[in-house]
């Protein structure tokens, strides 16, 4: 069992917030960081890369965020394999944590999450058994949070792919492309 059942109850409401027309319409008016605070969420410290790459590259008005993996409050990688010891819910919660790490890197790169014009694309990898087929439900942890925070600007193209293994045994890895001002 993965130890992130202690996430704020407000995270459980994200599925409702993401589909709410009121939440989507209000997203541009309210600051993303104020929404994070209202949800009881904070951005983690930005982790150093584990290999020879940079965490973000800006090209024109696009920021390409390298694959990020989930870390617990203690900084340790959240490991697991869905279908063998880890559940869809475990991986979905890890995808939400990974999204917070992506947003922390993005903020470090652009200075203010209010500069986000659009989340363009999310690519997610799920460490799972070969017969696992619910990758989209896992990646909804990321997508639902992005829509809850950015409204329609958070709706994005996406790929959800199963993987036999991921770096450091992580349960998920997510990359993102963001259009900024």
The pLDDT of residue 138 is above 50: yes
- Domain assignment present for 142: yes
Tell me, yes or no, whether 2 lies in a domain.
no
Q: Which of the four pLDDT bands, split at 50, 70 and 90, describes residue 50?
A: confident
Judge whether 1 lies within some domain.
no
Q: CA of 64: how far to CAs of 18, 38, 117, 179, in Å? A: 24, 27, 14, 9
Position 84 in a domain: yes
Lowest mean pLDDT segment, chosen from 18-32, 76-90, 162-176: 18-32
CATH assignment at residue 23: 3.30.1330.40
Counting every residue written for the chain, the total comes to 181
Percent of the chain at pLDDT exceeding 90:
81
Structural domain of residue 160, as residue ranges? 9-44+56-180
* pTM score of the predicted model: 0.84
- Res. 24 pLDDT band, cuts 50 70 90: very low
Instruction: Output 81-89 pairs: Cβ under 8 A, ≥24 positions apart.
Output: 81/127, 81/128, 81/129, 81/171, 82/126, 82/127, 82/128, 82/129, 82/132, 82/134, 82/138, 82/171, 83/128, 83/129, 83/131, 83/132, 84/129, 86/2, 86/171, 88/134, 88/137, 88/138
State how many domains the chain has: 1
Tell whether 28 is covered by a domain: yes
Least confident of 25-29, 64-68, 149-153, 174-178: 25-29
Q: Is residue 150 part of a domain?
A: yes
Average pLDDT, whole number, for the chain?
88
Is position 149 within any domain? Answer: yes
Nearest by Cα to 69 from 167, 150, 139:
167
């Amino acid at each position: 069992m993965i130890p992130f059942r202690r996430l704020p109850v407000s995270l459980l409401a994200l599925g409702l917030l993401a589909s709410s027309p009121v939440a989507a319409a209000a997203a541009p008016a309210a600051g993303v960081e104020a929404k994070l605070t209202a949800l009881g969420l904070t951005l983690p410290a930005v982790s150093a890369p584990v290999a020879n790459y940079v965490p973000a590259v800006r090209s024109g008005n696009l920021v390409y965020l390298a694959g990020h993996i989930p870390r617990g409050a203690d900084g340790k990688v959240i490991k697991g394999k869905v279908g063998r010891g880890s559940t869809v819910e475990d991986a979905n919660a890890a995808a939400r944590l990974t999204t917070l790490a992506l947003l922390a890197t993005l903020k470090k790169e652009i200075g203010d999450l209010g500069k986000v014009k659009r989340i363009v694309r999310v690519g997610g990898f799920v460490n799972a058994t070969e017969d696992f087929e619910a990758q989209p439900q896992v990646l909804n942890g990321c997508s639902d949070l992005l829509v809850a925070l950015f409204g329609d600007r958070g709706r994005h193209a996406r790929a959800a792919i199963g993987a036999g293994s991921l770096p450091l045994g992580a349960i998920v890895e997510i990359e993102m492309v963001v259009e900024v001002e």
